[in-house]
């Protein structure tokens, strides 16, 4: 298996919504974003799958060393080898990869966050940095697009937090700020109960509104000149926002089970959004 095939397999097996947005990219950019996504999955799996904290920290330390080797031209891991051409072609700095690893390590350091400001650093590292790197791969003319990418990454992570709150709580992790838990009168035990109370629904509605505000801020920051090249990000946004809408339509019953979209629904949204954005681009060109 080649490094590129390894990354493709990693992305496809994950079932992530991100995978569907890669399908419409030119080959070179698709290979680069798939390798970046595979890197994120590798370091995320270190934390999620390790039963021993010391082992997880050692593996993350290895990945930090591997980034040193990658940028010195000596990558060892298939993902790093697949990333090698991308880091030069698409301006992907080493410090961004290290910051993603730092974000993953925060899951070993913190089981919860007191305020949204505290949580924001985690979201920035594990999601917004990835969004900024993705924007580099997709291509842009206006640096305002990087602000769009940051906000979109925040929106995605906040959507994930709401979707996965039941699963995360059962693993001993809470990504809803503790001060907001107290504000809405919701306890950790209640989130672990498997039953969504009216108080919990109000708390979740607040989280959803914050995520929607980040989507809106992202769209407002995207320059018209870069909308076409950033189509993949807009495809991701269409899928993630539909997940958020489905959570709302299900009255925020996220403690009873994970609310998600089928692969066919994701593929349809990806195709539809790509088609709409191509049509928008043609209309803008003829205006």
pLDDT digits (tens, 9 = 90+) for 84-114: 999 989 989 999 999 999 999 999 999 999 9
Check whether 230 has a pLDDT greater than 80.
Answer: yes
Mean pLDDT (whole number) for 38-44? 95
Residue 213 domain flag: yes
165 and 33 together in one domain: no
In percent, how much of the chain has pLDDT > 90? 81
CATH number at residue 47: 1.10.600.10
Same domain, 158 and 195: yes
- Which band of pLDDT confidence, cut at 50, 70 and 90, is reported for residue 284? low
Among 32, 60, 95, give the residue marking a domain's end. 95
Residues 126 and 224 in one domain: yes
Angle between helices 198-221 and 144-163 (to 10 degrees): 160
3-state secondary structure of 167: helix
The reply to whether 32 falls in a domain is yes
Among the ranges given (127-131, 210-214, 259-263), the one the predictor scored with the smallest mean pLDDT: 259-263
Cα–Cα distance measured from residue 62 to residue 43, given in angstroms and rounded to the nearest whole number: 10
Say if residue 91 is in the same domain as residue 122.
Answer: no
251 in any annotated domain: yes
């Amino acid at each position: 298996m080649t490094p590129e095939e390894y990354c493709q397999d990693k992305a496809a097996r994950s079932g992530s919504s991100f995978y569907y947005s890669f399908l419409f990219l030119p080959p070179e950019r698709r290979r680069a974003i798939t390798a970046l996504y595979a890197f994120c999955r590798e370091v995320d799996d270190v934390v999620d799958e390790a039963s021993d904290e010391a082992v997880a920290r050692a593996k993350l330390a290895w990945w930090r060393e591997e980034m040193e080797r990658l940028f010195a031209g000596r990558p060892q891991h298939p993902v790093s080898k697949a990333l090698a051409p991308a880091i030069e072609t698409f301006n992907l700095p080493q410090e961004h990869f290290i910051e993603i690893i730092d974000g993953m390590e925060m899951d070993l350091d913190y089981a919860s966050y007191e305020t949204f400001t505290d949580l924001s650093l985690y979201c920035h590292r594990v999601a917004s940095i990835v969004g900024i790197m993705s924007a580099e791969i997709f291509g842009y003319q206006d640096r305002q697009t990087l602000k769009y990418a940051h906000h979109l990454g925040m929106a995605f992570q906040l959507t994930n937090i709401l979707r996965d709150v039941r699963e995360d709580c059962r693993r001993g992790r809470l990504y809803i700020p503790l001060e907001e838990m107290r504000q809405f009168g919701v306890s950790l035990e209640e989130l672990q109960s498997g039953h969504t109370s009216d108080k919990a629904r109000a708390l979740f509605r607040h989280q959803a509104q914050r995520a929607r505000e980040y989507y809106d801020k992202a769209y407002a920051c995207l320059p018209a000149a870069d909308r076409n090249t950033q189509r993949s990000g807009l495809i991701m946004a269409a899928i993630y926002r539909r997940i958020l809408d489905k959570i709302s339509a299900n009255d925020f019953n996220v403690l009873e089970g994970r609310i998600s979209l089928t692969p066919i629904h994701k593929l349809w949204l990806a195709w539809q959004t790509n088609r709409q954005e191509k049509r928008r681009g043609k209309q803008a060109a003829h205006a």
